[in-house]
Structure 1
Amino acid sequence: MKRTLAVAALAATTALPAAAQDDFYAGKTLTYIIATNPGGNYDAYGRLIGRYLEDALGVDSVVFKNLPGAGHIIGANSLYAADADGLTIGTFNTGLIYAQILQRQGIQFDLDEFEWIGKAAADPRVIVLSENSGFSSFEDLMASEETVLFAASGVGSASFTETRMLSDGLELNVDLIPGYQGNEGEMAMMRGEVVGQVGSLSSLQPFIDAGNGFLAVAIGGDAEPKAIDYASTDKARSIVNLIDAMSNLGRLTAAPPGTPPERVEDLRDAYMAVMEDPEFLAEAEKLGLPIEAARGDEVAESVQAALQQSPETVQIISSALNVEVPTIKATSEILSLEDGNKAVGFMSGDEEIVAEVSGSRTELTIDGEGATRDALAVGMVCDIEYDPNHEANEPKVMACTSN
């Protein structure tokens, strides 16, 4: 009997990912930051994944920390500033990609610098209308001359941003009431406070299945009708296609910048082991949480590509959100370089400015050729266009000449 148990234990150990056999995690606690209130699908995904990570990593426990607010910015800020020891991870929505592109106030992170662990889903976006909205189709909404109200999460969240973009591109008479968390938007539809909502299909499917609302139009996936069929202008098609691309980055999980590479690989191995666990997949299906996973290195490439939008696309997003991004232009020698050339000192008029150069958003050239910030040197003369409203005076453009 003992030999049978020993063989079974050995087989079980062999089946676990390398991370689970690493003594680093034994007896430790993993903190999982969830950038929403308890309830709703972000919370459901995070808690389900976290429960299975406990065994896959071999930690003593997983502690869930809900940090809602500011369209997931508060949770992402906290994760970015957390100890990079491999014991803290977090989840937040792709609306932060829009927020970073537009440099929204309050952002204290760079998505390009997170250590990406994985993503759990590719979740089509949908516009759902309540059964008591007075509408029976998307055509009815498009034809409405009266302005109607939609629910949304915080300003800067995916639901807020994409509702504004779709309203602008498809010329919908929609105003937003932001601030709904979890399933509060669905409850607001049932109470008649709002008539609709933009969100992920998996989040809103139970509301539809319960007979409380109907799918008016879908962006991505196989659901019908499709928003692209109602996009009659280049601007509308660009907006729908961008949202479609974002929908493939569903339910992201990341670790703080600077997490040791071996810990990042441990976390990625464990995460993907969870994504392939038959018991996890069965429980996710039972909860109505679709799984279409990808490993963190693939996610990192997708996030980086999403951040590299053309000026035309940025203008579309900015226009839809009525976001002004004023800039100041200055020509100056580089006076100082710190923090691995991330912090650049220069003169703007008679004022000395210190600006943080983004590795993903700042367009940097030296002698007319694309360059990275590690090639900068004190004394170089640069034409700099920077945003004085950004807390770090982040440059949009730096065109420098070598000494």
Structure 2
Amino acid sequence: MMHFPGTSTNTRNGEAKMRHRVSLAVAAAALIVGASSSGPAEAATGKDYYNGKNVRWIVSTGTGGGHDYYARLFARHMERMLPGSTFVILNRPGAGHVIGANLIYAAEPNGLTIGNFTTGLIYAQIQKQKGIRFDLGKMSWIGKSGTDIRVVSVAKTAEFQTFDQLVNAKRQVKFSASGAATGAYIDSFMFGEAWKIPYRIIVGYQGPEAALGMLRGETDALFGSLSSGMEYVRSGQTKVIVRFGESEQFKDMMKGVPNAFDAAKTPQQKALANLMVNYGQLSRIVAGPPKIVPDRLKALRTAYMDAAGSPDLIKEAKASHRRIEPLDGEQTGKVVTDMLTQPPEIVAMLNALTQVKVSMETHDGKVVEIKDDGRSVVIDHKGQKMTAKVSGSRTKITVDGKGAKRKAVQVGMACTFTWPKVNSEAQKIDCKK
């Protein structure tokens, strides 16, 4: 073995090993570069990128209902437009669609998360509502699929049968809403303020309960989307007394119904009518987080519009009595941005709304029954059974003055319900053993 001055055998062996490791590293790097330049996974762009990918579609409501229906409908057909893709529906309800919208906004901008939520979040953002961690003006808009004008409806047996009778009411007009942060509540508030109607908004009416409560005479009027109450209009149980804008879908049924846009006289009324008309034109909106990779955003927008124009999707929607009136992502984003910039008359009303306290009632009695692991609690109040729905996140519970979980409420306890109305979700339940 030949020796070199100043170089030991161990040193030469170490150098050889190092050269070997460097060679392996270089080879591995070459393989990685080669894979990234020729492999179909991450190198693919646009439509091809979605081959083999899962796309999360976050629905900001629970299962069932219009938002869930449209999400599942479009997800099925967008899969066809993006071959090899799989759309996964995730329902994330809560806080008036805020939870779902926050999740969409915070997602990675890789084009693999989109979702839908209520247009009413435009109001929430203008109000700078607590808990909002999104900016609708910065989201990546995919499109919208519906036009659903805002209307005020009443029962056929109600005291107020026309728009003029309602706006000239001498007594308090009772509107209904599911909660204080909902579109129905905000719309009813602004309508009452703009037209100077004496009004009260009763919360706690979830879904179809709003129309049923009106039919029972508990409330006088319902402010909402035309489609949501159409089955009651068709059956002759309710009637629309004023509309905000035109409806192509129900054009014949809206003949003779006054348009609030034409009835508006004051600057406040005109600003509100304009807002409501735009609101109705922007239904079933879909968006992703800000700054989605451009070619992927283009692919999503194209797939969305192709799905919206698909005869199969249109046929499926028609079978469910739903009309598809799409708008592409770029145009949807422009309308949203315009709606976020409101005149002083609207901003003033929305700011005033933040100071309004929802009226509550209290009823007390002994707990006689617990249902569904504490999700419903029944008390006997002066011989009348009353049932409170109990939310694990929204309902505050105390037992002997200390905060507690809903499972802590037991039969035999003396409890006081604080709620917007009888047999609704309780805001508070205070119990004593």
Same fold (TM over 0.5): yes
For residues 335 and 265 of structure 2, the distance between their equivalents in structure 1, rounded to whole angstroms, comes to 28
User: Aligned to 1:97, which of 117, 122, 125?
Assistant: 122
Matched-pair contact (CA < 8 Å) for 1:120–1:291: yes
CA shift for structure 1 position 79: 1.2
- Answer yes or no: is 1:79 the counterpart of 2:104: yes
Q: Distance in 1 between matches of 2:57 and 2:351?
A: 32
The answer to whether 1:45 aligns with 2:78 is: no
Distance 2:191 2:223 in 1: 9
Distance of aligned partners of 1:135 and 1:256 in 2 relative to their CA distance in 1, 3 Å threshold: same
Secondary structure in 1 matching 2:296: helix
Kindly state the Cα deviation for residue 127 of structure 1 after the two structures are TM-superposed. Answer: 0.7
Aligned partners of 2:45 and 2:296 also within 8 Å: no
Deviation at 1:237, TM superposition (A): 1.8
Aligned partner letter, 2:132:
I
- CA shift for structure 1 position 320: 5.4
Specify the alignment match of 1:302 in structure 2: 335
Structure 1: gaps spanning 5 or more residues: 1-18, 325-403
Letter of the aligned partner of 2:309 in structure 1? E
Question: How much does 1:47 deviate?
Answer: 2.1
Does structure 1 retain, via aligned residues, the 8 Å contact 2:245–2:277? yes
Rounded to whole Å, the distance in 1 between the matches of 2:109 and 2:218 is 43
Shift of 1:239: 1.2
The reply on whether 1:185 has 2:210 as its aligned counterpart is yes
Instruction: Please say if residues 46 and 295 of structure 2, whose CA atoms lie closer than 8 Å, have aligned partners that are also in contact.
Output: no
Read off the aligned partner of 2:321 and give its amino acid letter: G
Quote the residue 1:251 is aligned against: 284
Matched, 1:287 2:312: no
Contact 2:245 2:261 in 1 (8 A): no
Letter in 1 for 2:117: F
1:318 corresponding residue in structure 2 = 351
Contact 1:31 1:62 in 2 (8 A): yes
Deviation at 1:208, TM superposition (A): 1.2
Task: Quote the residue 2:275 is aligned against.
Answer: 242
SS at match of 1:265: helix
Residue 168 of structure 2 corresponds to 143
User: Structure 1 residue 176 and structure 2 residue 195: aligned?
Assistant: no
Please report how far the alpha carbon of residue 188 of structure 1 lies from its aligned counterpart in structure 2 after TM superposition: 3.3
TM-score (norm 1): 0.69
2:428: which partner in 1?
none
Residue correspondence of structure 1 range 164-243 to structure 2 within 5 A: 164-222=189-247, 223=254, 224-243=257-276
Aligned-pair CA distance for 1:251: 1.0
CA contact (8 A) 1:72 1:157 kept: no
Structure 1 residues 82 and 127: alpha-carbon distance in aligned structure 2, compared to 1, 3 A threshold: same
TM-score (norm 2): 0.65
Contact map agreement 1:150 1:176 (CA 8 A) in 2: yes
Distance 2:179 2:288 in 1: 23
* Matching residue of 1:267: 300
Aligned equivalents of 1:180, 1:38: Cα separation in 2: 18
Matched letter for residue 317 of structure 2: A
Unaligned runs of at least 5 residues, structure 2? 1-43, 248-253, 358-433
Runs of 4+, deviation exceeding 6 Å: none
Q: What is the CA deviation profile of residues 182-204 of structure 1, one whole-angstrom value per residue up to 9, with x for unaligned ones?
A: 43423433444433321111222
Secondary structure of residue in 2 paired with 1:292: coil
- 1:248-292 deviation per Cα after TM superposition (whole angstroms, max 9, x unaligned): 211100011232112111110100001111121122223222222
1:36–1:184 Cα change, 3 Å: farther
Tell me the SS of whatever aligns to 1:198.
strand
CA distance in 1, matches of 2:175, 2:278: 23
For 1:60 and 1:272, the matched residues in 2 are separated by 17
Question: Partner amino acid for 1:251?
Answer: R
2:153·2:242 contact (CA, 8 Å) conserved in 1? Answer: yes
Alignment match, 1:382: none
The alpha carbon displacement at 1:20 in A equals 12
Could you report, residue by residue, the CA deviation over 1:194-240 in whole angstroms, capped at 9, with x for unpaired residues?
33321111222222112231111100115322123443322112211
Contact 1:38 1:182 in 2 (8 A): no
> Counterpart of 2:324 in 1: which secondary structure?
coil
Cα deviations by residue, 1:273-314 (Å, 9 ceiling, x for unpaired): 011111211222232222221110111111112212234442
Paired-residue identity, %: 38
SS at match of 1:211: coil
Q: Provide the C-alpha distance between the structure 1 equivalents of 2:229 and 2:157, rounded to a whole number of angstroms.
A: 16
Greater Rg over alpha carbons, structure: 2
Kindly indicate whether the alpha-carbon contact (under 8 Å) linking 2:149 and 2:279 is maintained by their aligned counterparts in 1: no
- Aligned AA for 1:200? S
